[in-house]
Every structure is written in structure tokens, then in C-alpha cells.
Amino acid sequence: MKAYITYFVIFMTFVACVYGQTPQDFKDWMASDTWSTYNKKIFPRSDQTENITVDVKFYLIAITDFDELGGQMESVGYIVVKWTNDFLTWNTPANLTQVLLPQENFWLPSMVVSNSVQSLNEQGHKSYRVKVKNTGECEWIVGVVSRTACPVDVSYYPFDKQECEVIFNPWGYNDNQISLMSSETEVDLSHYMGNVEWDITSTAIESKSISSSSYLKFKINISRIPGFFLVNMVVPILILGLLNGLVFLLPADSGERVGFAITAFLTFAVFLTMVSENLPKAAQPMSLLCYFLTLMLVMSAISTLITIMTMRVYHQDADSDVPKWLRHVVSFITCRKCKKWCKRKKKRNRDNDDSDDSSDDEEDELDEAKTEKKEDVFDDLKGISWKNVGVMLDMFFFMLFIIGTVVISVFFLIPLATSS
């Protein structure tokens, strides 16, 4: 792919200009004073204190790599650099209006990618050409393969957006000598080849002077395509989170509860390790997905602890009495008290309906009702064993963990999904 891009840049270099001249025209120009007296070491201004404005247009061809861990973006493209050389003007002989010669024959603005993480070498190669018009206008097409530093914000990983820059600077010249600018407002993407992991959302160009030196920033805003991470990471985590609560539906006598809970815990730990390996080792900002996985890991650990405790409840001695307060809790959660209250209310209503037709002694009925009430006060607590307590705990914690998983997922994943 890189070889193809190199050939493409070289091809664009040669097809950028169209010429109408004869060999004799060119020979006459080479013998003229314009060329014979030209010295590329001299700053190309008649007034050496005068500033040169260099116009730079950036064509992005591809983003070949983005390293979240190192905070680096590798890109391939080329720049079209234009400026005016006061010493390269001539009266047009015949059809000679422009020439194309190797770059080593001319003065060049020393273009350097100042935020490169590999080297600060000047851009250009001896095989590149410079097109010079008879008015002194120079055009230089330079291939750029750069690996630049890029601050990474993974707060919304894998729905994150990044802003990266390719910054050019005329190395060794201050802004009184060379000022960089661009006639465009955006990076040219007419030759851009898409990336399978990243989409370009927008681009911008900014020119500024820092420490008496001119800088031209080409900003590239990219957003991650999250499909791969959704299928291979987010969806499995959600399914595993729901399965985490199902441990309480396993029969207590199966002997698989604790093993199931520990397996879920270890699986969350593996997913957390996988996510951590793909993210920068920085505390701020930290991905919401890491917080989500950490909470799910904590819930899985709590689920394992509760599973062990409920197993102890199941295997309590059947002859030992269940504490009265615990029987009240079981009765309330299993709606035994509600059923008793409803039954008593229906009976009272039925007795009130029959009171008008009854002629029995009211005092005997009142005594009988008091006796029945004393006998029925704790009917809802009868028959509650340790296994009943275990079943109640299982249903309670099953609902608690399912609801907790849904709430945590909504709290963290909806901001992730809507961040774009």
C-alpha cells in the first residue's frame, strides 16, 4: 500500500504541470542572466528584510495507523508549497513560460513536520521537482509520510473522537522571514482512501506564530467506527452481566453455584484486562467502559460472596429454629402477611353482610372471634424453614442483581452511545 502511495505522489508531481516549450527555448533560458547568475543560497527577496509568504495546501491520502497507547497517528499525503522568488523572473522567450527542474537547484523553504515523533528532518527528496514560472512563482509538490503526536481522549471509548494535527514549520526561519499560510480552509480529501477503523468527521487549518516562528496546523477530526468493539466486547459484557444474576436460579443441590459465580467473576476480569491493553495508561481521562467493567466486576464478586452465604443458609440443620425476625421478613417478602390480611378483610366484610340476618347471641360471637384472632396472629409464620429462607433470598437477590445490571448498563452505556 505504501509503495502504491509513493508512486501516486510521484505521478502527481509530474502531471501537475503542462509545458509548451522547445529545446532551444530552454537552452536559451539556461544561458540567460536569470539562471546563470542565480544562487540558491541567497534568500529569494530583493529586499533581504522583506517577508516571504508561503502558501501550503495539504492533500491527505490515507491514515495508515492510529496508536491509542502511544498517542500517535501515521498519515500519508502530500503538500503543494507555493511562494515567489524575486530572482527567478524573465522575459518570455518564444513559448517558455515555466520550467521544471530538480529541487536541489533552487532555494526552498525548509518544511519540517514539527510534531513528528520520528525525526525533524526537512521534507523533500532529490527526485522531487520545482515548477518555476517566468513571474517568479514557484510550486513545490512534496510527499509526506508522517507519524505525529496526537493527544488521546478515550473517555467514550469505543465511541470516542480524536483531534490530531500535522504541524508544519519553516525550520530555522522566524516569522519575520517566512510566514506560513493556506489559501484553503480545510484539508483536501479528494484523494483520500478510507480507513476501516476511523472516519474523518471534519478538518480545519490554523496558522499561528509561536516564539517568533510561524506554524501551520492541519487539524484532522476522526471518530472511531465502533461496530467491531460492539460485537466483540460490549454485547458479550451485557450478556455476561445478565447471566451473573442467574446464579441464584441454579438449584442449591446441584453443587454448581459457586463455580458458576467464580467463572463469571474471572470472565469480567479478562474483559477488563482486554480493554486496559488497548487504552493509554492514564488515570485522566479514563474510559467510562473501564468504570462500567469495574462495577460489573465488583457486582460479580458480591454475587459470589452472597452465593456462598445462601448456600450456608440452605444447609442449616433442619431441626434448628429460624429466628422470629427472619420469619417475619420471609413472610413479608413472600406476601404471606398480605394474603392473611386480605383473607381477614374478606371474612370481616362477609360477617358484616350477614349481621343483619343473624339473630345469634352477639357476646358468644365476639368471644369466638377473639379466640380465632389469637390463634391466627402468627399463622403466617408457621411452616417457615431454612429452605424457605434460602428460596426467598434467591429470588430477592436474583431480582436485585438483574435490576442492578440494567441500571448500571443504562447509566454508563447510553452516554457512550450518545456521545457521537
Of 312 and 204, more confident: 204
So what's the pLDDT on residue 29?
73
Q: Residue 5: its pLDDT value, please?
A: 46
Q: Are 169 and 73 in the same domain?
A: yes
Query: How confident is the model over 329-356, as pLDDT tens digits?
Result: 666 666 655 555 555 555 555 555 555 4
| Percent of residues, the chain, with pLDDT higher than 90 | 28
Residue 79 pLDDT level (bands cut at 50, 70, 90) = very high
Weakest mean pLDDT among 200-214, 262-276, 277-291: 277-291
Q: Considering the entire predicted model, what is its pTM?
A: 0.74
Would residue 377 count as lying in a domain? no
- Tell how strand 213-224 and strand 161-170 pair up: antiparallel
Average pLDDT over residues 282-296: 82
Query: Cα–Cα distance between 418 and 62 in angstroms, integer?
Result: 28
The pLDDT assigned to 374 comes to 46
Domain end (from 202, 225, 248): 225
Q: Would residue 384 count as lying in a domain?
A: no
| pLDDT score of 318 | 65
The reply to whether 87 falls in a domain is yes
What pLDDT digit, counting tens, does each position of 31-47 carry? 777 787 888 889 999 88
Q: What's the chain look like in SS3? A: CHHHHHHHHHHHHHHCCCCCCCHHHHHHHHHCHHHHCCCCCCCCCCCCCCCEEEEEEEEEEEEEEEECCCCEEEEEEEEEEEEECCCCCCCCCCCCCEEEEEHHHCCCCCEEECCECCCCCECCCCCCEEEEECCCEEEEEEEEEEEEECCCCCCCCCCCEEEEEEEEEECCCCCCCEEEECCCCCCECCCCECCCCEEEEEEEEEEEEECCEEEEEEEEEEEECCHHHHHHHHHHHHHHHHHHHHHHHCCHHHCCHHHHHHHHHHHHHHHHHHHHHCCCCCCCCCCHHHHHHHHHHHHHHHHHHHHHHHHHHHCCCCCCCCCHHHHHHHHHHCCHHHHHHHHHHHHHHHHHHHCCCCCCCHHHHHHHHHHHHHHHCCHHHCCCCHHHHHHHHHHHHHHHHHHHHHHHHHHHHHHHHHCC
372 within domain boundaries:
no
Residue 379 lies in a domain: no
Average predicted confidence (pLDDT) for the chain: 80
Same domain, 261 and 216: no
**pLDDT over threshold 80, residue 7:** no
How many domains does the structure of the chain reveal?
A: 2
Task: Please tell me whether residues 166 and 277 are part of one structural domain.
Answer: no
Residues 206 and 256 in one domain: no
For position 304, which CATH number holds?
Answer: 1.20.58.390
In the predicted model, what is the mean pLDDT of residues 201-222?
93
> In terms of domains, do 200 and 285 share one?
no
Write out pLDDT tens, residues 118-133: 888 889 888 899 999 9
- Domain shared by 218 and 262, yes or no: no
Quote the distance between the C-alpha of residue 373 and its chain's center. 66
Q: Is 374 contained in some domain?
A: no
Give dist(CA 261, CA 305) in Å, integer: 9
Band of residue 15 on the pLDDT scale cut at 50, 70, 90: very low
CATH code at position 172: 2.70.170.10
Final residue of a domain: which of 225, 260, 283? Answer: 225
pLDDT of residue 383: 58
Q: Are 105 and 172 members of one domain?
A: yes
Residue 241 has pLDDT above 80, yes or no: yes
Q: Same domain, yes or no, for 142 and 188?
A: yes
Q: Which range marks the domain in which residue 76 is found?
A: 2-225
Same domain, 133 and 252: no
pLDDT at 3: 43
Residue 382 lies in a domain: no
Please, which pLDDT band fits residue 19 given cuts at 50, 70 and 90? very low
Average pLDDT over residues 291-304: 90
Q: What does the pLDDT average to over 102-127?
A: 90
**In this structure, are 313 and 243 located in the same domain?**
yes
pLDDT of 113 above 90? yes
Which pLDDT score, from 0 to 100, does residue 94 have? 57
Give the domain-ending residue among 206, 225, 244.
225
What percent of the chain is predicted at pLDDT more than 70? 77
Q: Does 400 reside within a domain?
A: yes
- The pLDDT of residue 2 is above 70: no
pLDDT of residue 200: 95
pLDDT at 349: 59
Residues 55 and 171 in one domain: yes
| 269 and 162 fall within a common domain | no
Residue pLDDT, tens place only, 363-420: 444 454 444 444 444 455 555 667 777 777 888 888 899 998 899 888 888 888 787 6
pLDDT confidence tier of residue 222, bands split at 50, 70 and 90 = very high
Provide the pLDDT confidence category of residue 140 given band limits of 50, 70 and 90.
very high
Q: In degrees rounded to 5, what are phi and psi of residue 219? A: -90, 135
